[in-house]
């Protein structure tokens, strides 16, 4: 079974030791499970080809499904997205950090697996403070697809991840129970007006109020 480490941010020395271990695993192409805004996700170094391929293997995920990335800062977005539209800038200003995933035109250096060769990359600055702190310490974007076999139940605790995936992952980061709830809303801001690919935690009406224009919705 995968090793589980329980994060303790109240003990700076121990927390630093834990972060060093997490980064070492990710830098070597390892896979971690960690809590996100809703459920536990699978994290891999977004720039490591072998690690990203392992995500697909672990989840038994179809290669035509892209992987979204979590970032800890807007600076990281600039290194991933080719441009940010006025609508994207409005969402970033008013609804980030939070459960809105934006689809941007990807920069050409990104791994094609991340975009499923669509040329678009999904990015989110998570609302969960623990997740943001973890990402900031890691120092680069990581994947955040759900920590389960594709089509399986979402995992809300470290123990549920262990039951679902066993030794398929290298490390489970126990940050306590994830809050659950609706998945993030996915908005394609490469189009004008933007396209709501998936309506989730943030409603269509909330999005439209922020960008001050109607959105297209997937039929």
Give the pLDDT confidence of 47-91 residue by residue, as tens digits. Answer: 999 999 999 999 999 999 999 999 999 999 999 999 999 999 999
What's the mean pLDDT in 173-186?
A: 94
Residue 219 pLDDT exceeds 90: no
- pLDDT interval class at 147 (50, 70, 90): very high
Measure CA 134 to chain center.
Answer: 12
Average pLDDT, rounded, for the chain: 95
Contact criterion met (CB below 8 Å) for 35 and 178: yes
Measure CA 74 to chain center.
Answer: 14
What's the mean pLDDT in 118-147?
A: 95
Q: Can you tell me the distance from the alpha carbon of 188 to that of 91, in angstroms, rounded to the nearest whole number?
A: 11
Backbone angles phi, psi at 168, to 5 degrees: -70, -30
The pLDDT value given to residue 1:
83
Domains and CATH numbers, the chain: 3-217 (3.90.870.10)
Q: Can you tell me the distance from the alpha carbon of 80 to that of 61, in angstroms, rounded to the nearest whole number?
A: 23
What's the mean pLDDT in 192-214?
A: 97
Q: Can you tell me the distance from the alpha carbon of 19 to that of 152, in angstroms, rounded to the nearest whole number?
A: 29
Residue 10 pLDDT exceeds 90: no
Residue 111 pLDDT exceeds 80: yes
The pLDDT value given to residue 205:
97
H/E stretch holding 188 reads strand 185-188
Backbone angles phi, psi at 146, to 5 degrees: -60, 145
């Amino acid at each position: 079974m995968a090793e589980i480490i329980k994060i303790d941010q109240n003990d700076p020395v121990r927390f630093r030791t834990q972060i060093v271990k997490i980064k070492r695993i990710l830098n070597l192409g390892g896979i971690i499970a960690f809590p996100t805004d809703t459920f536990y996700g699978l994290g891999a170094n977004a720039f490591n080809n072998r690690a990203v391929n392992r995500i697909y293997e672990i989840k038994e995920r179809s290669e035509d499904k892209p992987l979204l990335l979590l970032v800890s800062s807007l600076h990281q977005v600039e290194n991933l997205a080719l441009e940010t539209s006025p609508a994207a800038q409005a969402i970033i200003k008013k609804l980030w950090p939070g459960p809105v995933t934006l689809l941007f035109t990807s920069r050409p250096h990104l791994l094609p697996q991340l975009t499923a060769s669509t040329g678009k990359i999904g990015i989110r600055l998570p609302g969960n403070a623990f997740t943001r702190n973890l990402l900031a310490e890691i120092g680069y974007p990581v994947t955040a697809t759900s920590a389960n076999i594709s089509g399986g139940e979402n995992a809300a605790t470290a123990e549920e991840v262990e039951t679902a995936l066993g030794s398929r992952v290298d490390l489970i980061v126990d940050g306590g129970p994830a809050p659950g709830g609706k998945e993030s809303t996915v908005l394609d801001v490469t189009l004008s007006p933007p396209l709501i690919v998936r309506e989730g935690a943030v409603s269509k009406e909330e999005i439209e109020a922020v960008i001050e224009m109607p959105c297209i919705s997937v039929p």
